[in-house]
Structure 1
Amino acid sequence: MPYLPRADYDAVIFDCDGVLIDSERIAVAILKDDLTEFGLRMSEEEVHHRFTGWLTAQIAVTVAAETGMAVPPDWVRRHNALVREAVASGVEPIDGVIDVLDALDANGIGWGVASQSDPTYLERGLGRVGIWQRAPGRVVSAQTVARPKPAPDVYLTAMELVGTRPDRAIIVEDSPTGVRAGVAAGARVIGYAADRAPDDLISAGASDTVPTMTELLGALGLSPVAVA
Structure 2
Amino acid sequence: MSTLSNNHTPESSLAKLAPLEAVLFDIDGTLCDSDPLHYLAFRELLLEIGYNNGNPIDEEFFIKNIAGRSDTDAARNLFPDWDREKAMKFLDDKEALYRKLAPKQLVAVNGLNKICKWVSDRGLKRAAVTNAPRANAELMISILGLTDFFQAVVIGSECERAKPAPDPYLKALKELDASPQHAFVFEDSPSGIKAGVAAGMPVIGLATRNPEKSLLEAGAVFLIKDYEDPKLWMALEELERVEAKLKE
Q: Residues 75 and 50 from structure 1, CA distance in 2 versus in 1: closer, same or farther, beyond 3 angstroms?
A: closer
2: CA distance, partners of 1:17 / 1:219? 23
Look up the match of 1:30.
41
Find out whether 1:202 has 2:202 as its counterpart: no
Q: Residues 25 and 8 from structure 1, CA distance in 2 versus in 1: closer, same or farther, beyond 3 angstroms?
A: farther
2: CA distance, partners of 1:155 / 1:120? 19
Look up the match of 1:7.
18
Look up the match of 2:140.
125
2: CA distance, partners of 1:30 / 1:17? 14
User: Aligned-pair distance for 1:22?
Assistant: 2.2
2: CA distance, partners of 1:106 / 1:49? 38
Q: Residues 210 and 8 from structure 1, CA distance in 2 versus in 1: closer, same or farther, beyond 3 angstroms?
A: farther
CA contact (8 A) 2:120 2:149 kept: no
User: Aligned-pair distance for 1:146?
Assistant: 0.9
Runs of 5+ unmatched residues, structure 1 = 224-228
Aligned residues: 220
> Which structure: larger Rg?
2
CA contact (8 A) 1:100 1:217 kept: no
Q: TM-score scaled to structure 2, two decimals?
A: 0.80
2: CA distance, partners of 1:135 / 1:149? 20
CA contact (8 A) 1:49 1:196 kept: no
Q: TM-score scaled to structure 1, two decimals?
A: 0.86
After the TM superposition, which of the residue ranges 70-79 and 7-16 deviates more from structure 2?
A: 70-79
User: Aligned-pair distance for 1:2?
Assistant: 2.0
Look up the match of 2:102.
87
Runs of 5+ unmatched residues, structure 2 = 1-8, 241-248
1:26 maps to a residue whose letter is L
2: CA distance, partners of 1:58 / 1:175? 14
Helix, strand or coil at the partner of 2:148: helix
Identity value in percent: 27
Q: Residues 46 and 63 from structure 1, CA distance in 2 versus in 1: closer, same or farther, beyond 3 angstroms?
A: closer
User: Aligned-pair distance for 1:79?
Assistant: 1.1
Look up the match of 1:226.
none
2: CA distance, partners of 1:124 / 1:156? 23
Deviation by residue 1:122-177 (Cα, 9 ceiling, x = unmatched): 111110111122214x1111121111001111101111222211121101110001
| Backbone CA RMSD of aligned residues | 2.3
Q: Residues 217 and 35 from structure 1, CA distance in 2 versus in 1: closer, same or farther, beyond 3 angstroms?
A: farther
CA contact (8 A) 2:156 2:168 kept: yes
Q: Which of residues 211, 214, 219 is equivalent to 2:225? A: 211
Helix, strand or coil at the partner of 1:133: coil
Question: What is the correspondence of 1:89-168 to structure 2 with a 5 Å cutoff?
Answer: 89-136=104-151, 138-168=152-182
2: CA distance, partners of 1:174 / 1:196? 7
Q: Residues 184 and 96 from structure 1, CA distance in 2 versus in 1: closer, same or farther, beyond 3 angstroms?
A: same
1: CA distance, partners of 2:83 / 2:177? 44
Larger RCO (CA within 8 A; separation ≥ 6) = 2
